[in-house]
Amino acid sequence: MNYPEIYLAIDNCFASKRFTKPKEWMQLAADLGVYHVEASADNECDPLYQGADYLSRWVDDVQEASVKTGVSVCNLYSGHGTYSTLGLSHTDPQVRDRMLNQWLKPMAATAGALGAGLGFYCHAFPDSVLQNPAIYQEYYNELIKNLAEIAGYAQEVGCKSIGLEQMYSPHQIPFTIRGANDLIHAASEKAKHPIYITLDSGHASGQRNFLKPDKATIFKALGDAGKTESERLWLGCDRAFKLVDGFGNPGNVGIEGIADQIIELSESHSYLFAEKQDCSIYSWLEELACYSPIIHLQQTDGKVSAHWPFTAARNEIGIIEGKKVLEAIKSSFNNPDRSSLPRVDRIYLTIEVFSSTGSINYYTLKDLEETVRYWRQFVPVDGTQPGFVY
């Protein structure tokens, strides 16, 4: 079995608006005992905010600091800026073009100049698109086309790999294991180049809100005793919710008829629903880690994606365990290889711990020290491979 090399890395988002020069955050990483950094666009390397001239100087600064610290930039990654827009799925084609050509391509070129990879999330589907299966398919196809274009460009400029991040709600796909598999394979086939996925240990936290209801659940929601529950039950499209609101009106079909209509709508809008396996990050890892060159590490209770550190206090209430993560990755590579998409040969387990606006730098760094100590139990040496030492 060909297992991947495993490296421990850290996203420099923790240093955003605090330690902003490459020599600063690279030295902090070295002090923590981490020698591979994922550089977030939020930490002063965004093509739209900083511009081409600055990015060129930034690459020079990174290369100079790398020589001094022994730390390298293994990947670039998008941040909150691209996460907060419709981006590649915008309703205006000019905005889609701007995201593709003025953000993604410059980032890929910057990654190429550093011999690094690129990961990103920069699209979302508005509600009007989600309500109409035909229009949804049009936007889905447009997304695949744009992903294929950036994949081809990334190859041209020497970007090591590109990957799309896993998310956890219907308007930000992929949010299901099946959907992720379909999306990266369809985009890769169109591009004739690999497009991978970034898995995040906290990004299986929302799917439980979007599970497909069965008839029994719908009956309960329609019954008098379940009226309050119907306010939180996920039915998918607006038409399904209106059926619930109209239940009991004169001339309306009975409970059986309404339930049947809701089930029918859930089938025609199947892209709005998750399955139980999508609620477990370990299921995601077992299925897709072999196509994930970047895996983001955050501690979570499984209910929120809060990007907690791996401190003793957080680990007591968290569900992410290093040994289970490594075992799930190993399981993914043990699965029969029936895909045309090549499996990755290197995975960067990337600590992605956020610091809040009001956090104190001293304690943030102490939490990161403890986080690195925790993960070094499982990746004691970068490049760990056969069987995974832990």
pLDDT (0 to 100) of residue 385: 66
Is the Cα torsion angle 289, 290, 296, 297 positive or negative in sign?
positive
Is the Cα torsion angle 324, 329, 333, 335 positive or negative in sign?
positive
What are the residue ranges in the chain where pLDDT is below 70? 223-231, 248-253, 385-390
Length of the chain: 390
Rounded to the nearest angstrom, the gap between the alpha carbon of residue 216 and the centroid of all alpha carbons in its chain is: 33
Predicted confidence (pLDDT) per residue in 313-345, tens digit: 999 999 999 999 999 999 999 999 888 999 999
Omega within 30 of 0 (cis) for the link into 22: no
Among 43, 69, 66, 48, smallest CA distance to 113 is for 66
pLDDT (0 to 100) of residue 140: 98
Predicted confidence (pLDDT) per residue in 196-212, tens digit: 999 999 999 999 999 99
pLDDT (0 to 100) of residue 99: 97
pLDDT (0 to 100) of residue 368: 98
> Which residues of the chain form CATH 3.20.20.150?
5-210+278-376
pLDDT (0 to 100) of residue 228: 46
Phi–psi pair at 38, nearest 5 degrees: -95, 115
Q: Write out the CATH class of domain 5-210+278-376.
A: alpha beta
Q: Which two tokens stand for residue 86?
A: 């419709």
Q: Which two tokens stand for residue 293?
A: 């060159």
Asked if residues 181 and 288 have their Cβ atoms less than 8 Å apart, the reply is: yes
pLDDT (0 to 100) of residue 225: 40
Residue 39: beta bridge partners?
76
Q: Which helix (H) or strand (E) holds 11?
A: strand 5-11
